[in-house]
C-alpha cells in the first residue's frame, strides 16, 4: 500500500514533496500526521519531571592503573611495616603455613574495582629476611 511508504514522514521526521502530493489526496494519512503530531506535542508538554537527586559524591580518582598501582603499593608498604617491626623475629613457619598462599583482597571503592594480590608466604619471608640482613 502506498501509504506505508511514508513512515518517516508520518512520524514527523522528514517532509518530502512526494508525501505532500500524497497528503493532498489521502485523508487517512492527513489524519495520521495530525494525530501523531498531537502525540508528540502532548508528550513534550507532559514530560516535565525534574531530577532532584543532586550531584553524586564522586571520587577524585577514576579507574585506571595509576590509582590501582598506588593503592597496591601503599598496601604492600603497610603490610611490610607491620611484619617488619624492629626487634621482632618473624614467627617460625609451621607445616600448615608452608605452601599456603596469602590472599589479600583490596576493594577499591570508590574507583569501583577489585584487585587481588596473592603472594606465597615464602617469598614474603625471604624479602623480610633480606631487609633484616641489610639493617
Which residues form the interface with other proteins (CB under 8 A)? 7-8, 10-15, 35-36, 38-40, 42-47, 49-56, 58-64, 111-112
Q: Which residues contact 90 (CB under 8 A, 6 or more apart)?
A: 83, 125, 128, 129
Q: What are phi and psi of 114, to 5 degrees?
A: -115, 145
CB nearer other proteins, residue 50 or residue 134: 50
CB nearer other proteins, residue 4 or residue 118: 4
Q: Look at the chain and count its residues.
A: 135
| In the complex, least distance from residue 48 CB atom to other proteins, rounded to whole angstroms | 8
CB nearer other proteins, residue 11 or residue 75: 11
Per the CB < 8 A criterion, the answer to whether 107 and 114 are in contact is: yes
| In the complex, least distance from residue 6 CB atom to other proteins, rounded to whole angstroms | 10
| In the complex, least distance from residue 27 CB atom to other proteins, rounded to whole angstroms | 16
- The residue written with cell numbers 583490596 in the block is 106
Per the CB < 8 A criterion, the answer to whether 81 and 129 are in contact is: no
CB nearer other proteins, residue 49 or residue 95: 49
C-alpha cell at position 65:
592503573
Amino acid at each position: 500500500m502506498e501509504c506505508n511508504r511514508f513512515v518517516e514522514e508520518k512520524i514527523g521526521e522528514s517532509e518530502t514533496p512526494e508525501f505532500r502530493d500524497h497528503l493532498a489526496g489521502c485523508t487517512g494519512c492527513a489524519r495520521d500526521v495530525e494525530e501523531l503530531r498531537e502525540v508528540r506535542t502532548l508528550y513534550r508538554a507532559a514530560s516535565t519531571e525534574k531530577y532532584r537527586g543532586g550531584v553524586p559524591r564522586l571520587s577524585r580518582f577514576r579507574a585506571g592503573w595509576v590509582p590501582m598501582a598506588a593503592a597496591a603499593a601503599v598496601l604492600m608498604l603497610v603490610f611490610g611495616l607491620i611484619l617488619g617491626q624492629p626487634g621482632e623475629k618473624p614467627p617460625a613457619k609451621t607445616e600448615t603455613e608452608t605452601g599456603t598462599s596469602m590472599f589479600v583482597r583490596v576493594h577499591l571503592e570508590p574507583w569501583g574495582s577489585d584487585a587481588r594480590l596473592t603472594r606465597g608466604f615464602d617469598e614474603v619471608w625471604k624479602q623480610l629476611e633480606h631487609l633484616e640482613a641489610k639493617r
